[in-house]
Amino acid sequence: MDDPEEAREYAAMDHSEVNASFVDALIAFQMVEGDLLDLGTGPGDIPIRLAELCPKVQIRAIDLSEEMLKIARLKAAKARFSRRIDFQLVDAKDLPFGAAFFDGVFSNTIFHHVSDPVTFLREAFRVLKPGGRLLIRDLFRPKDRATLDQLVSLYAKGGSKRHQQLFRDSLAAAYTPKELSAICKDADLPCADIRLDSDRHMTLRLVRPC
């Protein structure tokens, strides 16, 4: 999303409820201190909220959109978190960090956009320290068209036509829990726990063995 207008439109969408739920999940999963990595940070709302609630975290937040990162850096500077959140233009499938680098790795609703999900998961696991925690939340594909239409009507009814279409496209492109489980096996992820968290979200949780 490197078009400035598209980036601004996305950043202006109200994701506060789902973002708050995601940060609550990170805290419940004990991602409350140490060096953390946010894969696909977008406008930076999640690392900023996490930094507000958890003063012992340092966060690297990466994205492939420079326009999104510009917005995220401005938000972090306004919130006075520029020293605790480092925003970088990085491909999550080719991380420039050493093995066992981070105490925690997380990602929110970008997994269905990733062109090579197996490499994405392998890289996320590679940079995780022994005992470190991985949490990835994404949409899951509805069982039929009628359910998809209901979800769009329920959660995007107040948005623009483009917002509604983006949400519809994301739901249609998302994986099912069974498909995500198969991807985890292909990526050689041990002990991946996949759960449904809402009528449209699923979460992968994993603690790297020591």
How far does Cα 64 stand from its chain's mean position? 13
Backbone angles phi, psi at 189, to 5 degrees: -85, 120
In the Cβ-directed half-sphere of 48, how many Cα atoms lie within 13 Å?
A: 21
**Which residue in the block uniquely carries the two structure tokens 């699923």?**
202
- Model confidence over 156-168: pLDDT tens digits? 887 788 888 989 9
- For 4-140+175-207, CATH gives 3.40.50.150
Rounded CA separation 108/140 (Å): 12
Residue 203's SS3 state is: strand
Res 7: pLDDT? 47
Strands (E), 50-168: 56-63, 85-89, 102-108, 128-139
Rounded CA separation 107/111 (Å): 8
pTM, two decimals, is 0.91
- Between 8 and 198, the higher pLDDT residue: 198
Distances (CA, A) of 129 to 51, 57, 118, 171: 20, 15, 19, 32
pLDDT at 88 over 50: yes
Number of Cβ within 10 Å of residue 30's Cβ equals 12
**Mean pLDDT of all residues in 179-187:** 97
Rounded CA separation 117/102 (Å): 20
Q: Where in the chain is the domain with CATH 3.40.50.150?
A: 4-140+175-207
Backbone angles phi, psi at 94, to 5 degrees: -150, 70
What confidence tier does 68 reach under pLDDT thresholds 50, 70, 90? very high
Question: Over the chain, what is the mean pLDDT?
Answer: 92
How far does Cα 78 stand from its chain's mean position? 22
Number of Cβ within 10 Å of residue 97's Cβ equals 16
β-pairing verdict for 193-196 and 201-207: antiparallel
Helix (H) / strand (E) element for 10: namely: helix 4-12
Nearest Cα residue to 106 out of 32, 2, 190:
32
Rounded CA separation 93/119 (Å): 6
